[in-house]
Amino acid sequence: MKIADIELRERALFLAPMEDVTDPSFRYMCKRFGADMVTTEFISSDGLIRDAWKSRAKLNISDYERPVGIQIYGNQIEPMVEAARIAETANPDVIDINFGCPMKKIAGRGAGSGMMRDVPLMVEMTRRIVQAVKKPVTVKTRLGWDDETKNIEEIALRLQDVGIAALTIHGRTRCQLYRGEADWTLIGKIKNNPAVHIPIIGNGDIDSAEKAKQMFDRYGVDAVMIGRATYGRPWIFREVRHYLDTGELLPQPSVVERVAIAKEHLAKSVEVKGERVGVFEMRRHLSNYFKGLPNFKDTRMKLVTLTDVAELQDTISSIADRWGDFDVSECVPPSLSHDI
């Protein structure tokens, strides 16, 4: 598949942008395990144009991530256009617009999926951004605001007409948040509409290699985007790719391998963000790597409270010594019920 001039393999695998999750170190791990494309955490247009340090810091991308997108959100055209220009100076491969975030603090003020309640504004904002930057512009959105207004078919065609290079659709409405099952029916309908000629990326509830293949086979999407199932499991991309290529399911990584992965992730986090921030921001990831291990409470507490890198690395290493023979098939995969 291609996004503008960006060549990607057929049946590509995307990492979903997730706030407080898809930072540079996590994107690094997902790329290492086979993610074809990654995207930054979403960045506030207001934060960028005010030069807020936290927003600016999210523009940091590296060549090892490519192709990589920078995602922006906002509810007003001029700030979004300016934010897109600023994001372009970081030299991403694409500028992605977030029209999908369902959280009240975002959607409630008309940004994210709140934009689906004002389609003319959404389309005009997108048109202006496409005109303002030289990089390809992509969009991530949902089926609609609620069950009575699933207007994604109209939106897809109108966004294509103003020049977007690809469209990612999450198979829920804004009002669903992350409840219930994702409905891919409309995603498939859009992909198979002869009037649609841009890549369509499906998103929602991909939590296994079998599920990814099922969505490719059933709906014909160009790529699938994986989000919450990557928590503590960046190797899911390796699992999916192997299954797509061979039809064989890979065994789950052993505890020993998970220890090595966690230590590598920690080292990258510290390299990118420094010891204090790097350790702190790893806390959300570390315990998920070992979810399901028995009698793990005390060790888990250390993983989320230690501040010294060497002590934390030693604690992670001790997991291999204590649980190295544990049957990881008994580990519970991360739940998709967690709202982000």
Q: What CATH number is attached to the domain comprising 196?
A: 3.20.20.70
One domain, residues 314 and 166: no
Q: For the domain that residue 310 is a member of, what is the CATH number? A: 1.10.1200
Over 60: is that where the pLDDT of 333 sits? no
Both 232 and 265 in a single domain?
no
What is the β-pairing status of strands 68-73 and 43-44?
parallel
3-state secondary structure string, the chain? CEECCEECCCCEEEECCCCCCCCHHHHHHHHHCCCCEEECCCEEHHHHHCCCHHHHHCCCCCHHHCCEEEEEECCCHHHHHHHHHHHHCCCCCEEEEEECCCCHHHHCCCCHHHHHHCHHHHHHHHHHHHHHCCCCEEEEEECCCCCCCCCHHHHHHHHHHCCCCEEEEECCCCCCCCCCCCCCHHHHHHHCCCCCCCCEEEECCCCCHHHHHHHHHHHCCCEEEECHHHCCCCCHHHHHHHHHHHCCCCCCCCHHHHHHHHHHHHHHHHHHHCHHHHHHHHHHHHHHHCCCCCCCHHHHHHHCCCCCHHHHHHHHHHHHHHHCCCCHHHCCCCCCCCCC
Number of domains within the chain: 2
Residue finishing a domain among 246, 273, 297: 246
End-of-domain residue from the set 246, 270, 291: 246
Highest mean pLDDT among 46-55, 104-113, 129-138, 322-331: 129-138
Residues 119-136: what's their mean pLDDT?
97
Kindly tell me the burial class for residue 335, based on how many C-beta atoms sit within 10 Å of its own C-beta (0-12, 13-18, 19 or more): exposed
Looking at the domain assignment, is residue 334 inside a domain? no
Do 82 and 225 belong together in one domain? yes
For the question of residue 101 being annotated catalytic, the response is yes
Q: Domain end: 216, 246, 276, which one?
A: 246
**Both 220 and 264 in a single domain?**
no
Question: Mean pLDDT lowest for which of 109-113, 147-151, 198-202, 241-245?
Answer: 147-151
Asked whether residue 100 falls in the same domain as residue 181, the answer is yes
What is residue 206's predicted lDDT score, i.e. its pLDDT? 95
Q: What is the pLDDT of residues 12-59, one digit of tens each?
A: 999 999 988 899 999 999 999 999 999 999 999 999 999 888 898 899
Domain range for residue 266?
A: 255-329
The one catalytic residue among 30, 101, 175, 331: 101
Exposure string (b/e) for 126-138, b if CB count within 10 Å is 16 or more? Answer: bbbbbebbebbbb
